[in-house]
Amino acid sequence: MSNRRLARECALQALYYADSLKDMPQEDVLDYAADYRKELGEYFPFCEELIKGSLEHLKEIDAMVSSYAKNWTIGRMSAVDRSILRMATYELVFSPEKTPVPAIIDEAIELAKKYSTENSSKFINGLLDQLKKERK
């Protein structure tokens, strides 16, 4: 497993944690992720960026995801899918890194296959395929 994938997994877990405990201060979410600092090494700042960016742009991200999710609201999505979509949307639209779009989508699909339901990867792929239009 690549270290960037591990950083995304760590960020996903932290975002899921934040989502399940509504209104958690960003510092507490980052403290949760800090347990992986040693394991992630030089990739820990990438994990932190995904968490901070996703949380800082949460309202914009949720509005974008909602606009492309036909017949779905953010609240109806599973917490895991919602967290994957938030992180991937942040990376697609707001991240200064400009990771290639196919890599972002592939990583989100792999996270869905590992952590969510059988149909989640197709749902996330379809949504992110639409959301990639938002990339500046």
Structure tokens that stand for 118 in this block: 């059988």
- Average pLDDT per consecutive 10 residues, the chain (136 residues; last block may be shorter): 87 93 80 86 94 95 93 89 97 92 96 93 94 85
Q: Against a cut of 0.85, is the pTM above it?
A: yes
List, in order of start, the domains of the chain with CATH numbers: 3-134 (1.10.940.10)
Among the listed residues 51, 46, 54, the one whose alpha carbon sits nearest the alpha carbon of residue 11: 51
Q: Give pLDDT, residue 70.
A: 82
Report DSSP letters for 46-87, one per residue: HHHHHHHHHHHTHHHHHHHHHHHSTT--GGGS-HHHHHHHHH
